[in-house]
Structure 1
């Protein structure tokens, strides 16, 4: 059910028919095939049976306002179901006649119209004439055609089912085919028609700050060959258009050319128009040139359009340049700000790195100072411990010696000389051992070395550990002995 509702909404948006029952009947008659129903509706609605080329049956260049009014009314009625009727002021109608009827010297002022979506009502002018004609259906039709292709609902021109993905260059392909066919028929001297879709051409003209020259080609119209050969392909006209306009052309037999002929309400052929981009999905119609024109008339009309639209284009160009300058200035300011910010950040990083380096160095120095202090304390503590141990040892050795004996036949007198030249004397029992002599030396505060030997000079005898257990008498040191301390290396 939702699928039918969506199709009905699309069909109403494209055709402009407000009666949902009528739209439902038309869709049902075509099996709810959106593209088939739309094609049938536009084909039956836009090609009059009495004149397939879409131009007036009256070929006279002078047309009375009343006749023009009746023709415009009949055309507006024939398209009442697809395009929104546009009320044109009497001044606009008179100007359209003037373009067709008067000599180039009496060309009228520039006429403005705004083409937009049918449900949008806007106006704009160059202080001349304002109005509006519908373009929304053409835009919506292109969107819908692409959407249907993506969904796989559309069909190809030959009736075969199209692939789910529709080529995005269909409009460009039509434009390329038009240019190729035009050159085959009329040569290479012509306006430089862009080989892209209308909206892309409009965007190109907007970016180039130029107007868009539109030519709708009716291949079957009797005036088309002479107009193309003598006027449109005139070297002067083509050069002027190429210099001052972006050109787009399309055949009314092709999809986009046909849609543009409906959008621009082309009533006579050959048909040319000058448009420019206005705002979102809108274009401003500046001039319509309907019917055959001589090269002089074309140049006069186009020169006037260029002259009268020049202030708008110049203002647009200046505004764009100002925007670019402002953007460039902002970019330069942003770049300068970023550079300054990066410089500040670099200085801040450098300051932090320097601070961290100094903190690391200070921490390393503090660590070394503490290690050295701890080492000194440890050395002092060890030295104190050694000194205390030495004192205890001396005390223990002195206690182990006992009381020095008095002189007697069994008492040995021993003289000990130290490396410092200091001498010490003591009496021992002749039965005391050599170890007693070592204990005596250890009890004295005359030697700091722990490893030493007691040595006699004549004869030289070293009383090493192997002789510590001998008594003084056995060692030949009784009744007296003279020994010196020899520190071991």
Structure 2
């Protein structure tokens, strides 16, 4: 536990300092400024602030989560970390696989706007029945249940809310958001779920640094998010963080990677973009 000599320059009263130290002890959050910010958002109600953190760790939406329109997400093409691994069955290797991956990236970067306009026109003219009958919350819960039945209950904590809710929570709580889009029949889906996501080091790292949200692309909610992120290969993951006041995609990962490589990729992204979260905390 850090000792707040002279309030560590935070300008707190003695009572507030005591609550910050208690909150730090109860939650294990090491960063004093983060503890202060959480308590401030809860009007210095220690009990409510601690309970909120427990909810988040269990994957439940915060009391602030809303079904309102999520914040816009932009893609930072200049500094974005892009990782691609060919399918383990060899279908994506060699010159053909390389050309396919380059074409997929080119399509994602240059033609996403055109595709979005076309999709909007198609929905206007013919409608999208799936969008009307789907229940986003149920889609997420169904995915988590199916995942645990098929693979394992040992995995990073899935956020048990909609895409809109997790975006709002990640922005408010100033945390990295790790999005996982699941496709049942992809070559390396089973290997990634059983080998990588169940690894203890992966679980610890993801639970510590991220909100982790996943959904099956065959569901209504998963399909909508897939249309936003345009994955070319699966498993697909993206990292989103508040950067310069906007929720920004700072990394895309496609294909299988073992636990050590996965943690290395996550660590590199967190190290580079954590400065944006620190700056956002100072600005609040």
Q: Residue deviations 1:122-169, cap 9 Å, x none?
A: xxxxxxxxxxxxxx96xxx8xx9xxxxxxxx98679xxxx8xxx89xx
Q: What is the distance in 2 between the residues matched to 1:75 and 1:204? A: 26
Q: In the superposition, relative to structure 1, how do residues 265 and 172 fare at CA in structure 2: closer, same or farther (>3 Å)?
A: same
Residue 210 (structure 1) aligns with: 175
Q: In the superposition, relative to structure 1, how do residues 73 and 200 fare at CA in structure 2: closer, same or farther (>3 Å)?
A: same
Q: Residue deviations 1:96-132, cap 9 Å, x none?
A: xxxxxxxxxxxxxxxxxxxxxx9xxxxxxxxxxxxxx
Cα RMSD after superposing both structures? 3.6
| Residue among 166, 172, 181 paired with 2:146 | 181
Please report the TM-score for the alignment, with normalisation by the length of structure 1.
Answer: 0.35
Q: Residue deviations 1:166-223, cap 9 Å, x none?
A: 89xx211111111111111122211211111112101111222111000000011121
Residue 351 (structure 1) aligns with: none
CA contact (8 A) 1:202 1:276 kept: no
Q: What is the DSSP-based 3-state SS (H/G/I as helix, E as strand, rest coil) of the residue aligned with 2:185?
A: coil
| Residue among 215, 222, 245 paired with 2:210 | 245
Q: What is the distance in 2 between the residues matched to 1:243 and 1:80? A: 34
Q: What is the distance in 1 between the residues matched to 2:214 and 2:95? A: 27
Q: What is the distance in 1 between the residues matched to 2:94 and 2:190? A: 18
Residue 83 (structure 1) aligns with: 116
CA contact (8 A) 2:171 2:247 kept: no
Q: What is the distance in 1 between the residues matched to 2:90 and 2:198? A: 26
- Bigger radius of gyration among the two: 1
Residue 193 (structure 1) aligns with: 158
1:314 aligns with 2:265: no
Q: What is the DSSP-based 3-state SS (H/G/I as helix, E as strand, rest coil) of the residue aligned with 1:237?
A: helix
Q: What is the distance in 2 between the residues matched to 1:193 and 1:59? A: 29
1:300 aligns with 2:264: yes
Q: What is the DSSP-based 3-state SS (H/G/I as helix, E as strand, rest coil) of the residue aligned with 1:82?
A: helix
Which of the pair has the greater relative contact order for Cα pairs under 8 Å at 6+ separation?
A: 2
Q: What is the distance in 2 between the residues matched to 1:154 and 1:209? A: 34
Please report the TM-score for the alignment, with normalisation by the length of structure 2.
Answer: 0.58
Residue 48 (structure 2) aligns with: none
1:271 aligns with 2:236: yes
1:69 aligns with 2:102: yes
Q: What is the distance in 2 between the residues matched to 1:250 and 1:274? A: 15
Unaligned runs of 5+ in 2: 1-86
Aligned length: 193
Unaligned runs of 5+ in 1: 1-54, 85-117, 119-135, 145-152, 321-489
Q: What is the distance in 1 between the residues matched to 2:267 and 2:109? A: 31
Q: State the shift of 1:61 in Å.
A: 7.7
Q: What is the DSSP-based 3-state SS (H/G/I as helix, E as strand, rest coil) of the residue aligned with 1:312?
A: helix
Q: What is the distance in 2 between the residues matched to 1:256 and 1:61? A: 34
Q: What is the DSSP-based 3-state SS (H/G/I as helix, E as strand, rest coil) of the residue aligned with 1:276?
A: strand
1:59 aligns with 2:92: yes
Q: What is the DSSP-based 3-state SS (H/G/I as helix, E as strand, rest coil) of the residue aligned with 2:187?
A: coil
Q: In the superposition, relative to structure 1, how do residues 80 and 210 fare at CA in structure 2: closer, same or farther (>3 Å)?
A: closer
Q: What is the distance in 2 between the residues matched to 1:218 and 1:311? A: 33
